[in-house]
Amino acid sequence: MPRKKTEINPEEIIKEEPKPAETQAPEQAAEKPAAEKKPAARKLRAKKAAPAEEKAAPAEPVAEKKPAARKPRAKKAAPAEEKAAPAEEKAAPAEPVAEKKPAARKPRAKKAAPAEEAAPVVEAAPVVEAAPVVEAAPVEEAAPVEEAAPVEEAAPVVELPQPRRSVAFIGSECYPFVKTGGLGDVMYALPRALAKLNCDVKVILPRYRCIPQKWQEKMVYRGSFMMDLCSDGRSFYVGIMEYVWDGVVYDFIDNDEFFSYGNPYTNLIDDIPRFCYFGKAALAALNYLEWVPDVIHCHDWQAGLVPVMLRTFFADTPLRDTKSVLTIHNLRFQGIYNIPTVKYWTNLPDHVFNKDVMTQNWVDANMLKGGLTYCDRITTVSNTYAGEIQTEFYGDGLDAHLRFHSGKLRGIVNGIDVEQWDSRSDKLLPFPYGTDDVFDQKRANKLALQEQLGLEQNADKMVLGLISRLTDQKGLDLVNAILPALIDGNTQVVILGTGDARYEDSFRWYENNYKGSVCSYIAYDEALAHRIYAGSDALLVPSLFEPCGLTQLIAMRYGTVPVVRETGGLKDTVQPYNQFTNEGNGFTFDRYDAGLLLDAVNRAKTLYFTNRWRWDEMVRRNMQKDVSWENSARQYRALYLELKP
């Protein structure tokens, strides 16, 4: 993964050349049509650009500028472009960045407009807009006939929990637009679950170039403005492209200078400026759209500056009363960089570069730490991990800081979207199944998987799956150590993943040496992941640390028994099998030790080969276990209400 700590000085930034698109989601990149190509990514190197800066309004005033911003919703795409021009003119007449956009965007706006738009207007409008938009002349016109019908249909909505709350999610990835791991799943599933609990949810994301064209085409232009960013007054274009889907509004922050890379993450040299920009642009976009949520829910370091900026730059804007929640999905990645660079790219006041706020080790700025300091609540994705990160081993340098802020920290375990992960209706499976036909169909899926991957086709073999980013977080050193011991003539191993070369290479080596018994598929492949969940008997998740982990949840849902290390969310979601009471969902081990992993796998094998009846009971039990978002989404909602009663 590219999210690594590096230390450089600002001069290096200027010299660095753009990185090529990387491998994470190759199929997505491939979907990008040639016509979509934009000018080669311009470097973010500041220095030369100077001239136009001074004029650009600061974030707050910018937000106040767009009088007509809301009306376009009704009128839709066509007028939108016309508005863009005036907005840009006001803000920064000569800025080249702004001028280049319209041409590329126009056609998209027109295409996307008709169907999707109708829904959004209805859904997004009620709560948030109703209040401020007292002006609403249009309401009078629209009132008579149209209003009556929807109100009747809306009757069942009365059952929704009250009161309605509005939440803006800010994060760096979201399935199906862009996903490199579990964060993408959460950013997709949690907003949908919250929408069902009477929350008005907007998800703010970067508009990366790697978002497949089919989604890009659905986006509708909502407006644009120039935003001050850097300490030398340099300002940047912020475009807002919107897509409304199943009750959730997705707003994509558009800026080719920052988001034209093939991948969401490249290296910190580029990622730091990119997410300094993104955090501020997301807040400025809310003001621009005149959408004042009750709560802003930020995710990981990429949105870490949002709570800081909310209480500094945006303290005197309409967002002044909005509360913020910051969720840690993975404490390993914090957005750490030297102070001068972060100062340059944010222009934040000196006092936030204090050691108790954002500074770490006296010399670095830590974007996640800043967010943890300023937010109103910190959550992480399991209860156990919430405790672990307050210890030195799991705290990644922030344990003391987290202990200090433990009063506002809590763990809420992730769920999965059970419609997206439903073995009965999964179109990616050759043989979909439910609890009634699971055993026959899983055998059929196993045979299909073995055939597809060049393994010996034999449904009696036990197939162990592993689906993961290939990093040391995932306990792959343990797997490497015991892999030969797993291959006993009755067992096969299927690995799907991409990441660190040392793991890719060693797994390839095993495939070569255990042909027919081991398959290492080094790629990111959503469809194959589904087939492995369905075609395996057990799934290995022996992580060194695991904030929550979703693969074990998906596995259980698909009747595949997890073998996990007792850490983080793995500990909270997989109850160890007890052969005496016949309870539990999987096989577990505690210390990070290859021998213990082997022991856990051997316990699984023993049950599988010698007491299939009990094994099958566990499979059924797991498929019926509630791993949905429902319960956890309620906890998030309760948290929002705590902040905004």
165: phi then psi, degrees, rounded to nearest 5: -125, 145
317 binds ligand GLC (CB under 6 A): no
Residue nearest to ligand ADP (CB): 182
Say how far apart CA 272 and CA 249 lie, in whole Å: 26
Q: How far is the CB of 327 from ligand GLC (least distance, A)?
A: 8
Q: How far is the CB of 205 from ligand ADP (least distance, A)?
A: 17
SS3 state of residue 219: coil
168 vs 187, beta carbon nearer ligand GLC: 187
Residue 467 binds which entry of ligand GLC, ligand ADP, none, CB below 5-8 Å type-dependent: ligand ADP
3 binds ligand GLC (CB under 6 A): no
546 binds ligand GLC (CB under 6 A): yes
Give the residue, chosen from 62, 92, 112, 186, that forms a contact with ligand GLC under the rule CB under 6 A: 186
Site size with ligand GLC, rule: CB under 6 A: 14
Residues that bind ligand ADP (CB under 6 A): 181-183, 185, 467-469, 496-498, 524-526, 529, 548-551
Q: How far is the CB of 562 from ligand GLC (least distance, A)?
A: 13
Say how far apart CA 394 and CA 388 lie, in whole Å: 6
Residue 381 binds which entry of ligand GLC, ligand ADP, none, CB below 5-8 Å type-dependent: ligand GLC
Give the number of other Cβ atoms within 10 Å of residue 14's Cβ: 12
- CA-wise closest residue to 632 among 523, 528, 553, 540: 553
SS3 state of residue 368: helix
Alpha helices in 154-208 (DSSP H): 182-195
Task: Assign 3-class secondary structure to 242-308.
Answer: EEEECCEEEEEEECHHHHCCCCCCCCHHHHHHHHHHHHHHHHHHHHHCCCCCCEEEEECHHHCHHHH
Q: How far is the CB of 52 from ligand ADP (least distance, A)?
A: 40
Under 8 Å CB-to-CB from 250, ≥6 apart: which residues?
174, 177, 202, 203, 205, 242, 243, 244
Q: How far is the CB of 368 from ligand GLC (least distance, A)?
A: 13
492 vs 560, beta carbon nearer ligand ADP: 560
- Only one of the segments 7-15, 141-149, 181-189, 439-447 lies at the binding site for ligand GLC (rule: CB under 6 A); that segment is 181-189
Q: How far is the CB of 546 from ligand GLC (least distance, A)?
A: 5
Q: How far is the CB of 469 from ligand GLC (least distance, A)?
A: 8
Q: How far is the CB of 467 from ligand ADP (least distance, A)?
A: 5
**Rounded (10°) CA dihedral 536, 541, 547, 548:** 30
**Rounded (10°) CA dihedral 160, 165, 170, 174:** 10
Under 8 Å CB-to-CB from 278, ≥6 apart: which residues?
172, 206, 253, 258, 302, 303
| Residue 418 tokens, joined | 């059970």
Give the residue, chosen from 330, 492, 498, 536, that forms a contact with ligand GLC under the rule CB under 6 A: 330
Site for ligand GLC in 601-620 (CB under 6 A): none
SS3 state of residue 93: coil
Give the residue, chosen from 87, 325, 455, 550, that forms a contact with ligand GLC under the rule CB under 6 A: 550
CB 495, CB 474: distance < 8 Å: no
414 binds ligand GLC (CB under 6 A): yes
259 vs 533, beta carbon nearer ligand ADP: 533
Binding-site ranges for ligand GLC (CB under 6 A): 181-183, 186, 329-330, 381, 414, 546-550, 569
